[in-house]
Amino acid sequence: MLRVRRRRRSAAAAATAAVALCLLKCRDGIRSETLPLGFALARSVTLGQGSALAQPTVLGQGTAAALEGALAQDELRPTYIVGAIAAARLALLRRGRRAQNTRRQAAGAVPGAGGAIDTFLVRGPVDASALAAKCAKFARFFDLECMVFLSCGVDAAIVAKAAGGALGLHGVCPVFIAECQGVIGWDTDAKGNVELLEESVGGSGESGIVVAAFRGGCHEPSCVDEGAKANQGLPDGRALHLVVRASGVPLTPPSGMIYGGIAKACYQLKHSGDLNEVSQFSISTPFAVLSAFDRRDAGEVASECLSMLPPPATPPIAIGYFSCPSRGRNKYGEDGVETAAIAKQGLGGIRMFGMYAEVLGPPADTPPIPCVPELTEWTSILDADPRPGLELHSSASVLALYGK
């Protein structure tokens, strides 16, 4: 009886593979070297740093020939063929859906060694339902590590309702919210990076929210509750820490460079759906190029940063851009001068995320810093710290190119 059951299972599996192979042959011709169907055995493939996906095992040429021979000799019973056809059709349907989902994702959304950062700007007026609709796509990502909402003129409660409602993003990953004087982000309709600034600091007063989703197995989020130590939670072994604080300058961590800004208020969305005010949140990343500038041209700085990215890491997956309110429209008389200058350096299609605030970063107008763990780690108290100091700027911009 056991042998009969085994023979039946083997025949069913062989029939499924054979019929699927015939369906593919009729459709596109036999492609035995790349057959992403559900009947293939799964194997683990490393993605980024530690994430893994189940990928189908390749069907060899010999196996393909044997299956065709079995069909030709009519060795596969009709009883199994019916079920095999259904299984093969289901596999092809799933394959089509995966391809459709891939096409819907933005260019560069497939995570590499540097992970992925999906970001965009939602221009005001913003309500919870509109924001939830814009963020609905993130609910399907299996590798979501952190969600950041940079808000200009939009109440944090609206963000909490959108992210913590039907989407339930706060149950998947940490969700951080910062209320800002202004934001910089990618406008999908305008197909470019746009600046919004409050009237109180010389802007047009337009509201909006920058959404940034960090994913891919490479980004590590952390936060500091009120009253905790200033650099508590910043992980070791990460080269760049994006830090958003409610006030003050954080202590220098043992490894990595810090950049970011001072927000009007910082929050983390708790699992209960309530807003918890925090003094700091951060997202740490393995690789980027960082620079701060005051008197230098934004385009020249961006060009230097881009030249320091190794070829495998280009183009960057995103640009972190934090600027002081004294710049932008207040310095140039119009919006978008620095973002346009950066775009002209071959970075026109790269999405930015950031905010207007007092900014944290290295000394201004110094050479760009390649942020890799080996170069941004202080290994001994007997040696001088090899990293440039951390400063709080009131008239500079800070640029971070995230390598892919």
- pLDDT band of residue 292 (cuts 50, 70, 90) is very high
- pLDDT band of residue 377 (cuts 50, 70, 90) is low
Helices 78-104/2-28 angle, 10° precision: 50
Rounded distance between C-alpha atoms, residue 206 and residue 337, angstroms: 18
Does residue 18 lie within any of the structural domains?
yes
- Of 237, 273, 249, the residue nearest 373 (C-alpha): 237
- Of 118, 192, 181, the residue nearest 154 (C-alpha): 181
Does residue 153 lie within any of the structural domains?
yes
Does residue 110 lie within any of the structural domains?
no
Query: Does 283 lie in the same domain as 164?
Result: yes
pLDDT, mean of residues 82-102: 40
Give the total number of structural domains in the chain: 2
Instruction: Give the tokens for residue 168.
Output: 């339930």
Tell me if the pTM is above 0.85: no
Rounded distance between C-alpha atoms, residue 383 and residue 63, angstroms: 61
361 and 390 in contact (C-beta within 8 Å)?
yes
256 and 238 in contact (C-beta within 8 Å)?
yes
367 and 200 in contact (C-beta within 8 Å)?
no
Dump pLDDT digits (tens) for 240-254. 999 999 999 988 887
Query: Does 145 lie in the same domain as 53?
Result: no
pLDDT of 344 above 70: yes
pLDDT of 116 above 60: yes
Does residue 350 lie within any of the structural domains?
yes
17 and 25 in contact (C-beta within 8 Å)?
no
Domain ends where: 78, 104, 130?
Answer: 104
Per-residue pLDDT, 217: 85
Please report how many Cα atoms fall inside a 13 Å half-sphere around the Cα of residue 342, on the Cβ side: 28
Per-residue pLDDT, 73: 45
Does residue 43 lie within any of the structural domains?
yes
Does residue 17 lie within any of the structural domains?
yes
pLDDT of 379 above 80: no
Dump pLDDT digits (tens) for 249-272. 988 887 889 999 999 999 999 988
Residue 245 domain boundaries: 116-402
Dump pLDDT digits (tens) for 139-154. 888 899 999 999 999 9
4 backbone dihedrals φ, ψ, rounded to 5°: -65, -45
Who's near 25: CB < 8 A, 6+ residues apart? none
Per-residue pLDDT, 142: 87
Query: Does 311 lie in the same domain as 260?
Result: yes
Dump pLDDT digits (tens) for 93-111. 344 434 434 433 433 344 5
Query: Does 166 lie in the same domain as 205?
Result: yes
Give residue 95's identity as a one-letter amino acid code.
Answer: R
Q: For the chain, what is the mean pLDDT?
A: 77
Q: What is the DSSP letter of 344?
A: I
Does residue 109 lie within any of the structural domains?
no
Query: Does 173 lie in the same domain as 45?
Result: no
3-state class percentages of the chain: helix first, strand second, coil last, to nearest 5? 30, 30, 40
pLDDT, mean of residues 166-174: 88
Does residue 166 lie within any of the structural domains?
yes
266 and 277 in contact (C-beta within 8 Å)?
yes
Query: Does 157 lie in the same domain as 53?
Result: no
